Chains A and B, each alone.
Chain A
Amino acid sequence: MGTLDGRVACITGGTRGIGLACARAFLAEGARVVVNGRDEVKGMASVDELGGGGDVHFIAGDVKRRADCEAIVAGAVSRFGRIDILVANAGGGSGYAPVAEMTDEAMEDAMVWNFWHTFWTMRAALGHMVPQGWGRIMAMSSLEGKVGKPTISSYVASKHAINGLVKSAAREVGTTGVTVNALCPGAIETDTMVAAGPGAAEAMGISYEQLLETFANESLIKRLNEPEDVANVAVLLASEAGAGITGSLISIDGGTSPY
């Protein structure tokens, strides 16, 4: 008997890193899970990694497109008949530079990838969750949703925006049985970090290794977090026990954030 028996979860960016860890943890607690990613081949590989079977379903889609975001949510409902849990997890950034040199394209990329995708999927999911009187929305924010760092202002601004969206939405649907929370992980060496970290480090004038060391040193535990740390909190928020937690920005950062 799992804490998520009978639930249907949908995870954007669910084929790797934190999203994959959430998918694995939700499945272990009895949920059926839709994972999204851009790449069909990677998607099918992740379905295999998650044990395949009828409880996992992959939906290809680019979260930078509204139609895809809406199709992912609709696809989860169509596949499993409902949607109880949304983890708007995909995200990242590109073209990192100090504000004075940041391009419109870089700022827009982070805003679409992180903020707009969260808004689009949240809006679509609320359309199902509020009428059914039960739902759990988790937005993957970041430590950078609470603090600023030089040269990654696009990422920082978009994650702060997510936190504001979460707080407002939580107030709107507080009495409906739907909770809306943000998860704020510290640095984790996910595939996204491996891909975007070197660029961010270069913009900061340090090496990738130094970047990771900086993140670890900012924490109290002096090491990076792990995807499973985030997944464990996601399970709690998704379960019945999470019914009384909403509008919260939960830090999973080894004590890095000052608040």
Chain B
Amino acid sequence: MGKLEGKVACITGGTRSIGRAMAEAFLAEGASVVVNGRDPEKGEQCLAEMGAGDRATFYAGDAAKQEAVEGLIDFTIDRYGHLDICCLNSGGVLHSAPVAQMTDEEWLLEIDWNLNHVFWGMRRSLHHMLERNYGRIIVTSSVEGKLGKPGIPGYSTTKHAVNGLVKAAAAEVGTTGVTVNAILPGIIETDIVRSTGPESAKAMGLPGYDELIALFCAESAIKRPNKVEEVAAVAVLLASDAGRNMTGCLFPVDGGTLPY
């Protein structure tokens, strides 16, 4: 008997890395899952690799676009009858730069991708969850939601903002059976970090990608990157009945990086 038997989850950015690990962990605990991503080909590959049959579905859409995020919520409810767990996980940077060199395009993209996407998904989910007096909203924030590093100002800003959004929303719905939490991973070598890391490293004034990873590891107590499975395990806890009394929490999975 899994901890999420009969539950339905949707995950933005769910075909790879952290989102994918969440999807696999949820499926292993008996849930049905809709994974979202931009690329239908990668979506189909993800479904094939997970091999969960009817319990897993792919929904194509860009998490930086309102219609895609709201469409994912509506699609999930339509596909599986209801929505219990909404993981707003997608996010990142594309062409990051120090504030002085930051373009409007990049700034607005990061606001849409990291912050507005969470707001859109949270609002749409709450409409459904509050009617049922049950729900789990889990936001993938970051250690940068409490810190600040040079060269990635948009990322730090938006991750700080989602932490505030999580706390405010948790306070609004605290007695309704819906919980709202954020997970704050340390550095994880996800596909998005691998693809945009070299450019971010340059913006941070570092020689290259390896130095970027080394900088994050050096700040931790464990001196290594975190793993996607470590984040997924916390997501399962927060999503399960065992998590019913944890809300408004910023849960670090960062190998001891954060000072508070």
A binds B: yes
Residues of B at the A interface (CB closer than 8 Å) are: 167, 170-171, 174-175, 186, 220-224, 226-227, 229-230, 232-234, 237, 240, 242-256, 258-260
Provide the bound-state CA to CA distance between A224 and B141, in Å. Answer: 27
Report yes or no: A222 in contact with B174, Cβ–Cβ below 8 A.
yes
Q: A225-B245, A226-B245, A252-B245 are in contact. Are A245 and B253 (CB under 8 A)?
A: yes
Given A175-B223, A244-B253, A220:B230 Cβ within 8 A: no
Q: How many chain A residues touch B (Cβ–Cβ < 8 Å)? A: 35
Known A-B contacts A174-B223, A232-B237, A236-B237; the reply to A255 vs B256 at CB < 8 A is: no
Chain B neighbourhood of A236, CB < 8 A: 233-234, 237
B233 pairs with A247, CB closer than 8 A = no
Q: How far is the CA of A226 from the CA of B243 in the complex (A)?
A: 11
Bits for A243-254, please: 1 = Cβ < 8 Å to B, else 0.
111111111111
Q: Are A221 and B247 neighbours in the complex by a CB distance under 8 Å?
A: yes
**A173, A247, A249, A254: the one within 8 Å of B246 (CB):** A254
Question: With A174-B256, A221-B174, A236-B237 in contact, is A254–B242 under 8 Å at CB?
Answer: no
Chain B residues with Cβ below 8 Å from A139 are: none
CB-CB nearest in chain B for A177: B222
Q: Work out how many contacts link A and B, with CB atoms closer than 8 A.
A: 106
A219 to B244, CA, bound (A): 13
Q: In the complex, which residues of chain A have a beta carbon less than 8 angstroms from the beta carbon of B253?
A: 244-245
The interface residues of chain B lying within 8 Å CB-to-CB of A233 are: 237, 246
A55 contacts the other chain (Cβ, under 8 Å)?
no
Q: Return the contact of B171 from the options A220, A225, A229, A232 (Cβ within 8 A).
A: A220
What's the nearest-Cβ distance from chain A to residue B121, in Å? 20
Which residues of A sit under 8 angstroms from B175, Cβ to Cβ? 220-222
Knowing A174-B222, A221-B175, A254-B245, the reply to whether A244 touches B260 (Cβ < 8 A) is no
The answer to whether B233 and A246 touch across the interface, beta carbons within 8 angstroms, is: no
- Candidates B167, B221, B232, B246; contact of A229 at CB < 8 Å: B246
> In the bound complex, what is the Cα–Cα distance between A252 and B258 (angstroms)?
18
Chain A positions within 8 Å of B245 at CB level: 221, 223, 225-226, 229, 252, 254
**CB pair B226 A244 closer than 8 Å:** yes
Q: Give the shortest distance, in Å, between B248 (CB) and chain A (any CB).
A: 3
Bound CA span A173–B221, Å: 8
* B249, A170: Cβ atoms closer than 8 Å: no
Of A167, A228, A247, the most chain B CB neighbours within 10 A belong to A247
Give the distance to chain B from A155, nearest Cβ to Cβ, in Å. 20
Shortest CB-to-CB span from B28 to chain A, Å, is 12
Determine the chain A residues whose CB is within 8 A of the CB of B221 once the complex forms.
170-171, 173-175, 246-247
How far apart are the CA atoms of A170 and B256 in the complex, in Å? 7
Nearest A residue to B225 by beta-carbon distance? A244
- A222, A229, A246 — most chain B CB neighbours (10 Å): A246
Query: Which residue, of A173, A226, A246, A248, has the highest number of chain B Cβ atoms within 10 A?
Result: A248
Identify A254's interface contact among B167, B174, B220, B237, CB under 8 A.
Answer: B174
Bits for A156-171, please: 1 = Cβ < 8 Å to B, else 0.
0000000000010011
Sorted nearest first, the 8 A-B pairs with minimum C-beta distance are A174-B221, A220-B174, A247-B256, A255-B248, A241-B233, A232-B242, A244-B230, A246-B256
**Distance in Å: Cβ of B259 to nearest Cβ of chain A:** 8
- Write 7 A-B pairs (CB below 8 A) sorted by A numbering: A174-B220, A220-B174, A241-B232, A241-B234, A246-B221, A247-B255, A253-B246
